[in-house]
Amino acid sequence: MKKLGFGIIGCGWIGTLKHIRIYSRMAETEVVALCDIDRSKAEAAARQAGLTDARLYVDYREMLQDPKVDVVVVAVPNALHADIAVAASAAGKHVLCEKPMATRATDARRMIDAAKTAGKKLTVGFQWRWRPEAMYIRQLCERGELGDIYFAKAHGLRRRGVPTWGSYMDPDKNGGGILWDGAPHSLDLTLWAMDNHKPKSVYANVHDLMRDKPEGNPWGIWRTEDFRVEDSGFALVTMENGATVSIEAAWLINIAEGQDMKTTLCGTKAGVDMFADNGGVRLNLIHDGKPAILRPDLSPVVFPGIPPELDPMQQEARLWVDCILHDAPPAVDPEQALVVTQILEGAYESARTGGLVTFR
């Protein structure tokens, strides 16, 4: 059987760490093309992965004409996602776009419409859904074991964790700071676990008071004048069913322990913390009339379609390739990724105006 030809646009951190690494090794896929505006990055990525036959491009529009490319991965700065994804769909390619799907809900809608018109698949790189802890929590929710979930927290606080490579501090390329970086992951996890993608309103604050404090950052220091985005953001989302979702996100904040890419859910029957005390899942409930804590054994968590030995990035790839080969719906529905974008875009608007932003 012919292998699916992958073309990777953006050969930076995630392009190489996740996509080139994985799609160059799967039995059903091969990386046939690499594109980066910085040609040396595409060359280095090809060399590192031993891709001697891959074609290299600096202009993604040329790569989209390549008939060997069946599937495009969009792994460039956030503000470019929508235009490239739309062009890729129009060129007849399936598209996996990195998170956040887009920095405007209208752009995310354009992406969905373009994929539909082309009759091609579209998904978004929310791989942390496929952590054992996240899959377990989702299953608890599906079985109704938490009862009605009326409060959730999307944790994205790093004590120190400012990305100093690429364009994360450039508002024109990244769309903003931490709210477009870590927050999409933890918000996606939370909404997916709750199975609730109907936001009613959001109220938010953002801060940039730590941008002159690079000491202690594991990814190196920066110049204060280059840091032109928020370093933390806090939002309160009200869902249509009345549930409250709190978003806490920071690249650097003076807390004892960071909690990132994590969710907490509280329902009428029980609550659950992901990575409580730095590992696994903690179920908080009443047992025999007394508050009790359960720490379930999560090995292995079996989720439909996923072999338990794969890491979350490989699981994302497994589900994505199966979706294309078997003409199935993508495991990360782009309509759900659009809602993540809609809430975060609303959060920025609320922070800018100081008011509540309502949806629909």
Ligand X SMILES: NC(=O)c1ccc[n+]([C@@H]2O[C@H](COP(=O)([O-])OP(=O)(O)OC[C@H]3O[C@@H](n4cnc5c(N)ncnc54)[C@H](O)[C@@H]3O)[C@@H](O)[C@H]2O)c1
**186 touches ligand X by CB under 6 A:** no
**76 touches ligand X by CB under 6 A:** yes
Using the minimum distance from each CB to ligand X, give the nearer residue, 96 or 253.
96
CB atoms within 10 A of CB 85: 30
d(CA 196, CA 136): 17
Among 5, 6, 7, 11, binds ligand X (CB under 6 A): 11
Count of residues of this chain found to bind ligand X when the rule CB under 6 A is applied: 25
Binding mask 36-75 for ligand X (x = CB under 6 A): xxx--x------------------x--------------x
Question: What tokens were used for 226?
Answer: 């280059």
d(CA 227, CA 209): 11
DSSP state of 159: S
**77 touches ligand X by CB under 6 A:** yes
Binding mask 144-183 for ligand X (x = CB under 6 A): ---------------------xxx----------------
Query: Do residues 337 and 108 lie in contact, with contact meaning Cβ atoms separated by under 8 Å?
Result: yes
Between the alpha carbon of residue 151 and those of residues 64, 123, 241, 268, the distances in Å are 44, 28, 11, 10
The distance in angstroms from the start CA to the end CA of the chain is 46
DSSP sequence for 77-127: -GGGHHHHHHHHHHTT-EEEEPSSS-SSHHHHHHHHHHHHHHT--EEE--G
Nearest distance, CB of residue 176 and ligand X, angstroms = 11
What is the separation of C-alpha 161 from the centre of its chain, rounded to a whole number of angstroms?
17
Nearest distance, CB of residue 165 and ligand X, angstroms = 5
**230 touches ligand X by CB under 6 A:** no
Residue nearest to ligand X (CB): 12
Question: What tokens were used for 192?
Answer: 């997916």
Question: How many contiguous H segments (helices) and E segments (strands) does the chain have?
Answer: 12, 15
Among 3, 12, 44, 356, binds ligand X (CB under 6 A): 12
**14 touches ligand X by CB under 6 A:** yes
Span of 13-21, 104-112, 271-279, 330-338 interacting with ligand X by CB under 6 A: 13-21
Span of 32-40, 225-233, 271-279, 287-295 interacting with ligand X by CB under 6 A: 32-40
Using the minimum distance from each CB to ligand X, give the nearer residue, 106 or 358.
106
Interface with ligand X (CB under 6 A)? 9-15, 35-38, 41, 60, 75-78, 80, 98-99, 125, 127, 165-167
